[in-house]
Amino acid sequence: MIKIRELLYSKHNEFRTENTEWLILNMLHELRIMTADQMMKLINLEYSYQLSSVYNRVSSLLNHELIDFIQIQEESNLRYFFLTKKGHNSIGGIYSFPKVPEYNLKHHIEVSNYLIESIRMAKTRPTFLLAQSERRQMYEKKDMSKAKKGTLFHVSDYILRFENKLAEVSDWHFEIELTLKSQNRYTRAIFPKYLRVLTQKKNAQLIYVTPSNIIYNSLDTFKEYFILKQQDEKLKIDPTAFDRLHIVSSNEFTSVLERMLDENDFINER
């Protein structure tokens, strides 16, 4: 069974209840900011653990100043936990330390919700290899790049990676779209970049998820725009790329992803 270790694959340790505090610190390092409920759901992919026990561990980490939390006025009963500098150093954090943990809070929390649900569904597939967070992707890109300081990189919100018996890889890129970006960014940067990926990597998939009808329709319009332009020799788009570019409404996410997992020949090795 695929478990939480597929998210924390870059760290070697024993995944057992005695190490729950270590797991919490590393989950926060990977996902930046989380609720206790999200921690519990991720931990339960590894072993059974109650929410009350998570709060006990969180309390201990707070007392040792390894983590801290923020609250927002609209949700005064909900705490969002993040690593302190001391906590970051205690696990030898390799990613940059976030100085403003509440930056883009809603997006980070929603991405983690979808990531947890995606891992839960993908973990039943024998080809599921790992889940790569946005922070891990950024770390990999910067580590391999000679770009100057300040260079902007675009990575997916998260990736699910599958590997078959021939050691061939299929990356499923997920974008959780809560805010509609400018038309220029979609038509000149984001969609061309992903269409190149889908053209070069025949087993890759791109899944856009949004709760907004307006964003959904806009994304669908951009997709149609590039379908009409696919004959443009400069773009060199593989026509099958559009079959692997999915735009999904939030309320249909679970059913759509389940169907995709069931029907995909690569991950089921058919």
Check if the beta carbon of residue 120 is closer than 8 Å to that of residue 45: yes
Distance, CA of 26 to CA of 5 (rounded, Å): 11
Q: For 42-46, 119-123, 128-132, 176-180, which range has the lowest pLDDT when averaged over its residues?
A: 42-46
The closest of 122, 151, 126, 119 to 138, measured between CA atoms, is: 151
Q: For 60-64, 168-172, 194-198, 266-270, which range has the lowest pLDDT when averaged over its residues?
A: 266-270
pLDDT digit string, tens, across residues 142-151: 766 655 555 5
Place of tokens 């979609």: 186
The closest of 22, 17, 207 to 122, measured between CA atoms, is: 207
| pLDDT grade for 5, boundaries at 50, 70 and 90 | low
Sorted by sequence, the CB contacts under 8 Å of residue 106 that are 6+ apart come out as 178
For residue 47 the two structure tokens come to 């072993």
Give the 3-state secondary structure of residue 222.
helix
> pLDDT value at position 73?
80
Task: Report residue 97 CA to chain centroid gap.
Answer: 18
* Structural domains present in the chain: 1-103 (1.10.10.10), 104-270 (3.40.91)
> pLDDT value at position 3?
45
| pLDDT grade for 16, boundaries at 50, 70 and 90 | low
Q: Model pTM?
A: 0.91
Distance, CA of 190 to CA of 193 (rounded, Å): 5
